[in-house]
Amino acid sequence: MKKRTYSNPVGTSKFTGLLLVSPFLLGFLLFTLYPFVSSFILGFTNYDGTRDAHFTGFDNYKTMLSDSSFRKSVWVTVKYTAILVPLKLAVSLLTAILLNAQIKGIGIFRTAFYIPSILGSNLAVVIMWQFLFTTGGLIDQLTLWLGLPSVSWYGEPGNALFMIILLRLWEFGSAMIIFLNALRDVPKEYYEAAKVDGCGGFRAFFRITLPLLKNVIFLNLVLQTIAALQEFNAPYMLTGGGPMKGTYTIGMLIYNEMFRYNNIGFANAVSWVLFVLITVIVYLMFLITGRTRKEKP
Amino acid sequence: MKKLPLYFILTVIAAVMLYPLLWLAGASFKSNEEIFSSIWFMPDSFDLSVYFKAWETVTPYTMGHYFINTFLIIIPKTLFAVISSVVTAYGFARFDFPFKRLCFALLMGAMFMPAIVTIMPAYLMWSKLGFLDTYVPLTLPALFAAEGSFVFMLIQFFKGIPKEFDEAARIDGCGALRTLIHILIPCLRPVIVSISVFTFLWTMNDFLTPLIMISSVEKYPLSLALRLSADSTGNGYEQRKILAMSVIGLIPSIAVFTAAQKKFLSGITAGGLSG
């Protein structure tokens, strides 16, 4: 076997780099790997925070299969992700294309579109959303003004979930910035050539923009899907998971089982199922788009 | 002239994006009937007294107290995050070492680890170490380059700095660390601003970690104090107080973002990272 050589600047050795990244490695062991493994082990126990834990084999996983709240939460989470992510990608891509125009004052618009996303799940924003959608609130008045029937946002499960989707959609700025950066790298000549060939705006979009942005669209798809599958803050603060568990995401279930009902073993088993679910969905995305053999974008 | 429709569309979108925030600010001055009778954000009159009342909160402490708590978390966390991410990225970008590929894979892996999977064991660990209800669980992980995306962003930036800079410094007798401090860090200023701003914003927004780790109201950061006030508030005048508290709670984030936005957006432009 050939011995590997390390090329490093004069005066440093192959251990200099290792020394520099050692805080990260230590942190990884303490704050990622250790909790990750111990969560896996806890998932096979009946630990409740007070009594000693006992190994119960696959009991937690069997309970899950027959637990209607669990099944409901998986369905809610998948539905939420499947509606939110495509909407968010479409809105952020279209606004990024508009913002890519070289016109005066575009910076102001960019800032305006980005501000909601920096506020993220800030509690103040959630309180604002609560007031906007409350009975007789701004949204109610708007629908009335437009002559539409009044919508019960908190009373009907589907509407409550849609209210949360709208909150996250409002925060499309972070995905938009990623698209905007990618669009900046598309050579202007491509569009000019398309124009010469009589290719209009729409066709140029489908023939030039979309193919060139393939990798960035995929990156955003993965990032947004991972975030959506973990949704906890918005339902926790806006709806408490209701009505009729219509917004009871897996994140909500884990939190409640963990800190409210003290079913710590069960909660950790569920969090592992969530982890596996995220991994499988992301892996499928790589598989379907034929990216498994290639390097990461 | 061709640009007019574009301006129109952009203005409409901007209005939809910002109107809720304007409405929130306006509603804090409105009476209940006014809130529920008009979609226009402007209140009939500006009565600032609601803001003095809001500052008092419905808890035993003022908002000033919660702001100080929040900054007691943000300041060390930002410092820790900047130092540890820069040092780690420097190691990855400029040096070759055993298991480098594995280490980099771990960095990427940690980025995609759902917080909800690790939070319970982390809670139990901090509980055993006796650090629950202190700011240690909220700040200390930042000292270990816990935010992989920051390291990633910095590595991209390091790649943009010519290696000749390092070599010149070395000829002048600088070691690895002095090269970093004197030559490279000044070039990294835009990313360091981005990292600080992100840490600020994310800490202002973070709710789950303090909710789990902090139990005494005295130590609550702003987010938990808002939650407590919103939960223990009735109707009528008290609601305006909550709206005013929310406005006060949003001002720091919007102010920091607006102040830093030019540098900040150029920093994420280079690194491909965003909220």
pTM of the complete model? 0.89
In a domain, B82, yes or no: yes
On chain B, the residues whose CB falls within 8 A of the CB of A267 are 120
Find the range with the poorest average confidence among A8-12, A26-30, A228-232: A8-12
What is the tally of structural domains in chain B?
Answer: 2
**CATH of the structural domain A38-294, one choice from 2.30.300.10, 1.10.3720.10, 1.20.120.330, 1.10.10.10:** 1.10.3720.10
B251 at interface of A, judged by CB pairs closer than 8 A: no
**B174-189 tens-digit pLDDT:** 888 888 888 888 888 8
B103, A110: Cβ pair inside 8 Å? no
Give the range of the structural domain holding residue B178, as residue numbers without chain letter. Answer: 48-269
In a domain, B102, yes or no: yes
User: Looking at the structure, do residues B57 and B42 belong to the same domain, yes or no?
Assistant: no
Question: Distance from A181 to chain B by nearest Cα, in Å?
Answer: 6
The chain-wide mean pLDDT, for chain B, equals 86
Instruction: Please report which helix (H) or strand (E) contains residue A215, including its range.
Output: helix A214-229
For chain A positions 134-193, those within 8 Å of chain B (CB to CB) are 136-138, 141-142, 145, 170-171, 173-175, 177-178, 181, 184
**A63-92 tens-digit pLDDT:** 999 999 999 999 999 999 999 999 999 999
Q: Give ipTM to 2 decimals.
A: 0.87
User: Looking at the structure, do residues B25 and B70 belong to the same domain, yes or no?
Assistant: no
Residue in A20, A178, A230 nearest the CB of B95 = A20
Mutation site for B-interface testing, chosen from A6, A32, A81, A167 by largest number of B Cβ within 10 Å:
A32
A115, B21: Cβ pair inside 8 Å? yes
In a domain, B275, yes or no: no
In a domain, B274, yes or no: no
User: Would you list the domain boundaries of chain A?
Assistant: 38-294
User: Looking at the structure, do residues B141 and B254 belong to the same domain, yes or no?
Assistant: yes
Tell me the H-state helices in chain B. Answer: 4-27, 32-35, 49-56, 63-94, 100-111, 115-129, 136-139, 148-159, 163-171, 176-179, 185-187, 189-205, 208-213, 222-231, 237-271
Secondary structure of residue A260 in the 3-state scheme: helix
User: Looking at the structure, do residues B199 and B114 belong to the same domain, yes or no?
Assistant: yes
User: Looking at the structure, do residues B43 and B61 belong to the same domain, yes or no?
Assistant: no
Residue B269 has pLDDT above 60, yes or no: no
| DSSP 8-state secondary structure symbol assigned to residue B235 | S
User: Looking at the structure, do residues B64 and B121 belong to the same domain, yes or no?
Assistant: yes
Q: How far apart are CA B236 and CA B56, in angstroms?
A: 17
Mean pLDDT, rounded, for A87-116: 90
In a domain, B76, yes or no: yes
On chain B, the residues whose CB falls within 8 A of the CB of A10 are 170
Q: What b/e string do you get for B125-142 counting C-beta neighbours within 10 Å, with b at 16 or more?
A: bbeeeeebeebebbbbbb
In a domain, B163, yes or no: yes
Higher pLDDT among residues B10 and B261, named by residue: B10
Chain B residue nearest residue A17, CA to CA = B91
User: Looking at the structure, do residues B6 and B81 belong to the same domain, yes or no?
Assistant: no
